[in-house]
Amino acid sequence: MKKLKILLVIADGLGDRKVEALGGQTPLQKANKANIDSLLRSSLVGLMDPIGPGVVPGSDTSHLAIFGLDPRKYYKGRGSFEALGAGATLNEGDVAFRGNFATVDNDLRVVDRRAGRKIEEADDLVKELNSKIDEVQGVKVRFYHGTEHRVSLVLSGDNLSDKVSDTDPHEIGKRVLHSEPLDGSLNSKRTAQIVNDLTKRMFEVLSKSKFNEKRESEGLPPANIILLRGASVHTELPKLKDYTQLSSAAVSATALIKGVCKSIGMEVITPPGATGGIDTDYIAKADAAANLLKDHDLVFLHIKATDAASHDGKALEKVKAIEMIDKAIGKVLDTFGSDIILLFTGDHSTPVELKEHSGDPVPVLLYAPVNIAPDSVNSFDEISVRKGSLKIVGLNIIDLLLNYSNRASKYGA
Amino acid sequence: MKKLKILLVIADGLGDRKVEALGGQTPLQKANKANIDSLLRSSLVGLMDPIGPGVVPGSDTSHLAIFGLDPRKYYKGRGSFEALGAGATLNEGDVAFRGNFATVDNDLRVVDRRAGRKIEEADDLVKELNSKIDEVQGVKVRFYHGTEHRVSLVLSGDNLSDKVSDTDPHEIGKRVLHSEPLDGSLNSKRTAQIVNDLTKRMFEVLSKSKFNEKRESEGLPPANIILLRGASVHTELPKLKDYTQLSSAAVSATALIKGVCKSIGMEVITPPGATGGIDTDYIAKADAAANLLKDHDLVFLHIKATDAASHDGKALEKVKAIEMIDKAIGKVLDTFGSDIILLFTGDHSTPVELKEHSGDPVPVLLYAPVNIAPDSVNSFDEISVRKGSLKIVGLNIIDLLLNYSNRASKYGA
């Protein structure tokens, strides 16, 4: 039997509830999604609980599960995924922090937690930090710029711990916090001291930076500190290639997701125009995915726009994002329609009226151009798919993909 | 988003099969339950396997699962729950037994395993035992009266074990059994000796009791022994408040269930008129639940009547119990309808024709006054709910309650 290629499309935060602004329909019900609905003629559909019924997933834990790694065993926190997504190379034991460029006064009181958010000089400031602060107390220090005000910090050395508290006070007017050890270990005490020393040195370097001088001369708030949070220790994860034999690549513009993909050994592409927001270039992402399908077994296309619209409570934007995803899927199918299986789902629900992740199950569609008897469902949405045959959790997905692409190995004899 | 209160209603042994005496309907199909059915307009429904498909649950293991604690990890036997439910305070390592007041002859042969069952003097007899038997071999001894002939015994001290056999021969005409160690440990040997000594001392005290003299003068069988069974060691369980942040209270008249609730830190109320039988005062229990909802996040209303009717094989009594539960639910909803989510289910099935617990799945209804798209089901019964979207196990329930009451924490980022 011919091995088929696999296209996995995840619309972040796809699942929803009835939305008043949409006349009581869900965004999936409302959206014109002719390409997706046309796949129903040869698809299984149903509901997926990414982690388990009622459990509210983060995007990181959910993606781990969908890639076949139980987050309860493998998830160690967000920091190292963000750092990987921002371009870091991590080694076992490195401690990564998420950070914000922020504006503080001379007393280290927070004036702007994001230093204006759009910081043109962010790359330059990160470069300056890396050139002027190479190490603290013998520990190697590296900064990586994510998007806008976002920065990752990585500490590399022996005897480090991620059991240290944040320096981010999460509130304007409060002073930058001292990092404190969160357990009684010497490693935590040492790491907290390093973080506190580093905070002082960052302020010294950034306060004097010509890039901040320029910002102030333009009336912009200086990015004179990095507020740190969410320390996490990097541990190597199993590689998708090793546990599935699939060569794989991902198309994503979201640091967290890019980091998850890199951590399991996937090649990660962010094509020009892909933003991780509702203004992303869907067709550029579809083209990138189609291109990667030529020489990879599995291509993962991640679209953040649905989640971004949901967090902002913008129902119509979410509908539009789904319609653009439908076009993107159509584009890939035009090229590979009879040679790929396609799984389309979300990593969790983010109901637009809730504006937050929820534990509601997510619709899932598995299209396979093989002789499976399709489920008798004529629309892909939260309500219609309840009549479908899939009732799965995230951890089931890799096995389903391997099975319907004719790539699964027999378990037993 | 507003946090909603949670009402969890469990009708013990609710699930059933087609019943001949009901013209082939199940009790849920037969019952007039207008309030419950009216909730279907904003509910998810389906089937729950309390432990797993086909597994026959006890009420204790099932309730543990429903409260989010895997019984395979946490269940240590029924004795300590019964003792807690009868009013005991237990410490880690205490060994609790279930017991029956019984009538034996001078040769310790059982004449009546329940000493007539209704024992007016039971409280006095227990008081007398506690005053005359304070300790045996340095181990502290306490008796607690449950309902009717039921008594709990608690042993407190070092080096005790619950690996000892029952003294209850479970048969009339047989002699009270010697308790024997069930493993090779010294602690089991010692505990069995204590139980045997204690049995002699109970007989001495009870044989001479003026309360039994009175019973005999009235022609009633003396309650001159306590037959012991089901030793279980008390281990502290995680508290619901700690693992869910929910403040909680329970309304129940059943010692075993009260004990489970107390063991996870719930406040437990048994309003006057609540009996744990088919003669219970449903409205008193509904009022108590409504009252507790004012200052608790989660209120658990337990109704034993459905199970009691099932064990007695009384189909019409079960139908009536369901109709009374419907009224009780209606009463609470009149007050809190738009401010609570409600989950209604059973802890297991007890088919009336079987008269015993079974491993059949139990219908489950989750009503939430939020914009979930409801399942298209127009009756809440074993057959109709199969078209619903819930297909869950008991351990999923707490997560579902937290999700739909807007109280869940995100797992991951």
- Among B66, B246, B371, B409, the strongest candidate for a mutation testing the A interface, having the largest count of A CBs within 10 A, is B371
The answer to whether residue A311 neighbours chain B at the CB level (below 8 Å) is no
Q: Is the pLDDT of residue B336 over 80?
A: yes
- Alpha-carbon distance B358 to B51, whole Å? 12
Going from N- to C-terminal start, the domains of chain B cover 5-76+238-404, 82-233
The reported pLDDT for the residue numbered B338 is 81
* pLDDT more than 70, % of chain B: 100
CB contact under 8 A, A54 and B404: yes
CB contact under 8 A, A386 and B389: yes
- Residues written for chain B: 413
Nearest CA in chain B to A362: B389
Q: Are B360 and A5 in contact (CB under 8 A)?
A: no
Nearest CA in chain B to A79: B413
Both tokens of A136, joined, read 């603290």
The reported pLDDT for the residue numbered B147 is 86
CB contact under 8 A, B412 and A60: yes
The 3-state DSSP class for residue B327 equals: helix
Q: Is the pLDDT of residue B275 over 90?
A: no
The reported pLDDT for the residue numbered A147 is 85
The reported pLDDT for the residue numbered A371 is 84
Nearest CA to CA, how far is A259 from chain B (Å)? 13
Strands B298-303, B340-345: pairing kind? unpaired
The answer to whether residue A383 neighbours chain B at the CB level (below 8 Å) is yes
- Which tens digit of pLDDT belongs to each residue from B28-44? 999 999 999 999 999 99
Nearest CA to CA, how far is A155 from chain B (Å)? 21
- Which tens digit of pLDDT belongs to each residue from B46-55? 999 999 999 9
Which residue from A55, A356, A382 is facing B399, i.e. has the nearest CB?
A55
Nearest CA to CA, how far is A369 from chain B (Å)? 27
The answer to whether residue B220 neighbours chain A at the CB level (below 8 Å) is no
CB contact under 8 A, A61 and B411: yes
- Alpha-carbon distance B360 to A184, whole Å? 50
For the residues B80-87, what does the mean pLDDT come to?
Answer: 95
Q: Is the pLDDT of residue A26 over 80?
A: yes
To which H or E segment does residue B286 belong? helix B282-293
Nearest CA in chain B to A25: B373
Q: Are A175 and A107 in contact (CB under 8 A)?
A: yes
CB contact under 8 A, A55 and B403: yes
* Of B95, B65, B82, the residue nearest B259 (C-alpha): B82
CATH class name, domain B5-76+238-404: alpha beta
Chain A residues lying within 8 Å of B403, measured CB to CB? 54-56, 358-360
CB contact under 8 A, A386 and B409: no
Q: Which CATH number fits domain A5-76+237-404: 3.40.605.10, 3.40.720.10, 2.60.260.20, 1.20.1440.130?
A: 3.40.720.10
Give B15's strand partners: B349
DSSP code of B351? -
To which H or E segment does residue A197 belong? helix A186-207
- Alpha-carbon distance B178 to B199, whole Å? 9
CB contact under 8 A, B371 and A356: no
- In the stretch 2-61 of chain A, residues with CB closer than 8 A to chain B read 17-20, 26, 47, 51-61
- Alpha-carbon distance A343 to A363, whole Å? 11
Which residue from A17, A26, A52 is facing B370, i.e. has the nearest CB?
A17
Which residue from A18, A59, A230 is facing B373, i.e. has the nearest CB?
A18
Both tokens of A385, joined, read 């798919």
- Which tens digit of pLDDT belongs to each residue from A202-217? 999 999 999 999 999 9
Nearest CA to CA, how far is A249 from chain B (Å)? 23
For the residues A135-147, what does the mean pLDDT come to?
Answer: 95
CB contact under 8 A, A382 and B373: yes
Q: Are A237 and A81 in contact (CB under 8 A)?
A: no
Q: Is the pLDDT of residue A186 over 80?
A: yes
The answer to whether residue B155 neighbours chain A at the CB level (below 8 Å) is no
Q: Is the pLDDT of residue B337 over 80?
A: no
In Å, the largest CA–CA distance within chain A is: 73
CB contact under 8 A, A57 and B400: no
Which residue from A55, A256, A391 is facing B413, i.e. has the nearest CB?
A256
The answer to whether residue A168 neighbours chain B at the CB level (below 8 Å) is no
The answer to whether residue A347 neighbours chain B at the CB level (below 8 Å) is no
Give A225's strand partners: A102
Give A244's strand partners: none
Which residue from A47, A256, A359 is facing B389, i.e. has the nearest CB?
A47
The answer to whether residue A146 neighbours chain B at the CB level (below 8 Å) is no
- Among A55, A60, A362, the strongest candidate for a mutation testing the B interface, having the largest count of B CBs within 10 A, is A55
The reported pLDDT for the residue numbered B335 is 87
- Which tens digit of pLDDT belongs to each residue from B381-412? 999 999 999 999 999 999 999 999 999 999 99
Chain A residues lying within 8 Å of B4, measured CB to CB? none
The answer to whether residue B398 neighbours chain A at the CB level (below 8 Å) is yes
- Which tens digit of pLDDT belongs to each residue from A55-107? 999 999 999 999 999 999 999 999 999 999 999 999 999 999 999 999 999 99
- Alpha-carbon distance A145 to A211, whole Å? 15
With 0-12 / 13-18 / 19 or more C-beta atoms within 10 angstroms meaning exposed / middle / buried, residue B207 is: middle
Which residue from B371, B398, B410 is facing A357, i.e. has the nearest CB?
B410
Nearest CA in chain A to B402: A54
The alpha carbon of residue A250 and the mean position of all alpha carbons in its chain are separated, in whole angstroms, by 11
- Among A56, A254, A393, the strongest candidate for a mutation testing the B interface, having the largest count of B CBs within 10 A, is A56
Q: Are B43 and B369 in contact (CB under 8 A)?
A: no
- Alpha-carbon distance A373 to A64, whole Å? 30
- Which tens digit of pLDDT belongs to each residue from A345-381? 999 999 999 999 999 999 999 999 988 999 999 999 9
CB contact under 8 A, A54 and B413: no
Both tokens of A401, joined, read 């993909």
The answer to whether residue B340 neighbours chain A at the CB level (below 8 Å) is no
The answer to whether residue B245 neighbours chain A at the CB level (below 8 Å) is no
DSSP code of A259? H
For the residues B242-259, what does the mean pLDDT come to?
Answer: 96
Q: Are B298 and B6 in contact (CB under 8 A)?
A: yes
The reported pLDDT for the residue numbered A375 is 97
For the residues B59-69, what does the mean pLDDT come to?
Answer: 98
The answer to whether residue B67 neighbours chain A at the CB level (below 8 Å) is no
Q: Is the pLDDT of residue B276 over 90?
A: no
Tally C-beta pairs within 8 A across A and B.
85
With 0-12 / 13-18 / 19 or more C-beta atoms within 10 angstroms meaning exposed / middle / buried, residue B180 is: middle
For the residues B360-383, what does the mean pLDDT come to?
Answer: 95
Q: Are B151 and B145 in contact (CB under 8 A)?
A: yes
Chain B residues lying within 8 Å of A361, measured CB to CB? 389
Question: Mean pLDDT in chain B?
Answer: 96
- Alpha-carbon distance B347 to B200, whole Å? 39
Q: Residue A1: what residue type?
A: M
Please compute, for residue B116, the number of CA atoms within 13 A of its CA located in the half-sphere on the CB side. Answer: 15
